[in-house]
Structure 1
Amino acid sequence: MPNVKDMTTYASPAPTQAPAARLLRRIGIDTQYVLLGFPLGLVTLVVCMTGFFTGLGLVVIWVGLPLLVGTLMVSRGFATIERARIGPVFGYRIPHPAYKKNPGGDLLRRTFTPFTDGQSWLDMLHGMFRFIPSTIGFSFVITWWIAAISGLTVPLWDWAIPDGPDRHDLPELLGMGDATSTRLIFYFAIGVFFAGTLYPVVRGAALMEAWFARGLLCGVNELREQVNQANAARDVAQQQKAAAVSAEATALRRLERDIHDGPQQRLVRLAMDLGRAEQQFATDPDAARATVAEALAQTRETLDELRALSRGIAPPILVDRGLQAALTALAGRCTVPVDLDAPVTERLDPLVESTAYFVVAEALTNVAKHSHASEVQVTVKRNQAGLLVSVSDDGVGGASLAKGHGLAGLADRVQAAGGLLDVTSPATGGTQLTAALPL
């Protein structure tokens, strides 16, 4: 398939236009394409054949080389015209291929560069052999038009044919009689048949000629575009995979650090307190009860930290109630006042919801820890391109996506979801974090 980005759709009739008008417009476009293609095919046949074989014959005295180059350039001009002509047949503008250039070479190398360009030779090959589909298509189209027009208008011109003794009409030869009414009905029926089959015949002839031209003039370029798109898609997939691995590794390191700095230390102290209480029960029961009470407090704090960590891994409210409810809970827990604008109520793809949630969660955490902001604005909007998440604050600024900063792992997470993350944080103050996530 051709590259859609390089194509401009031709203006088509309004959807409210009658189907008959659209049909007539299509027949007109295809007819003029085929009828004009026949004389163009003859001209390009003469020019390309003469230039190629004359230049080939004169190569031994070097005169043929410039003649061959000139023929290739003329063929390129005819190919440019043909690409513009086949656009209306297909309904979109056909992109021109990139011809090989040699801007850094001397004049002689630049002159003979078309010899090394495969598309230039394909253009000349099209100029040599385009007359074959052009002639076939022209024969069918002109035959169908003449038969349809002459058959439908037979009552207007039949009187002009003299009724001499040597006149023998087709109805009479078929044994249908020689009455004037029978003759008129027969030829009018033939006109109706050719008029009824005019569209498929004209359309088929135009497509035959257009596909022949497209295969030689655009096929290599379209194949190259497909390869480039496939390579670009592969590179994007590899980048997303690497970003996902990096984001996962960052999340695991952070979880390990948080567990080591929080619940693990508390559990170690809890074990020590319980061991001390066990020893105190025999000698000092009151002190033992106080130690147990302190251990219970440590247990509650440990449970609170574990709940916070579990929200960072897979918040239940996000899974159960969706993105809007989860963001509302995040805004309620933030130590900085949050102005939340998240009208997205429908459920989205789980990866998109999770990524958007962690973007807001990480941004609010950074605001609370480092920005010294007095207010945060969180906006989540859905448009045709995807989901747009924006977090803005009036803090000190200076945030960055560079490696070693806290937002680097968040950028990997967004990239792994196929999105983009941008941070604007001037040193004069204020930070805006924007994530665009595809749906």
Structure 2
Amino acid sequence: MNDATTSPADSALATRGAALDLLFNVLAKRVPFDDAWDASRPLRALEPRDRAFVRMLVATTLRRLGQIDAAIQGSLNKQGQQLKAVVQDILRLGAAQLLFLGTPAHAAVDTAVELAVARKQHPYKGLINAVLRRLDRERASILAEQDAGRLNTPDWLWLSWRKTYGTALTRAIVETHLGEAPLDITVKANAAAWAERLEATVLPTGSLRRAAGGQVTELSGFDEGGWWVQDAAAAIPARLFGDLAGRDAIDLCAAPGGKTAQLAAAGAQVIAVDRSEKRLVRLSENMARLGLGARVTTVAADATEWRPDAVVDAVLLDAPCSATGTIRRHPDVARLKSEEDVEKLGRIQSRLLYRAVDMLKPGGTLVYCTCSLQAEEGESQITNLLYRRPEMQVVPVTADEVGGLSELLTPDGYVRCTPGHLAEIGGMDGFFAARLRRVG
């Protein structure tokens, strides 16, 4: 916590310094934002309000990075001028405050210059001051001339999505990425009553939705264990099993446990498998809060190698993926993932799928899902599986199973959600899900 004698100016500088370190770790060291956040020592010395500002500032910088970099380049006296990484990041944070967060110019500019001095970048004080002053003066015209969605989307993602979804839906996806995601909630039962208590809306798919913001743990009923946070799209796959009462299920790559909770709440006895013991501890804590611990057994193992003692009725595989469907919530994904990652992860997904089939009883159901917008991690995986494992057959998902939202279904009967769906009420994560049955 800040000492009582800490001046507001020192506090502001410490806050921007923590943000600068965080941004550097994400963009230069390529550390996922949440991991960088958890490992940041400077953050621990800040007041809760300042930590919240750091999170908002860095997340906004990552979300609007294309616009910010274009604006900075357009404000330099020498077009195409290459800047030192630390100077570039100081300018990025200053630009995010001026262009998108409404920070007063004197606060954003002065702290940026002071931060440059603190990081021994004295020769760049004048440049930083001049660029940020220009951004402040020309803010309206700069933003009016920018194609925000396109600028903030890396080329490989734009081209991939346009090929898969067409220009119109791709445009809807990237426009939705510009805003924060709402808070979605899954309840064990009685959605209408919980919606009233939580001041939320019931979505067609059955999830509850309320505006983002506030502490989740302080919301009504958190300690009662009647609900958990889970994006509306992420809540669909586990519902595709139908009646699970008295059945055995395996949740592969299970942590942090949202889908495990759904399976257990539906009456299944669940084996939750994840390679991370640390993440399984969190899953177990979540199950305990929800009163579902007795229905869940955890196993720390690599799911490509692990074997259950007996085959089961249901297997849910939420496979590791590029997570390009979660960019609204994790804007660092757009900057950290690449086409090479998609290819590498695709090989892992194929191995997991084959293993999952072997865990099923004849007549058992497999639901495969990823929080990715890449067809290579969704539709293509199922096409390959059906070719190599003829005992598996697709069981098409029907519109009534997704709240009547037929636009979420593909002609093959798969679920394909994009952030452009339900855009008028806040959108949803990008998700793919397919349901298959083992016959014979």
| TM-score normalised according to structure 2 size | 0.19
Structure whose residues are more often strand by fraction: 2
Q: Which structure: greater helix fraction? A: 1
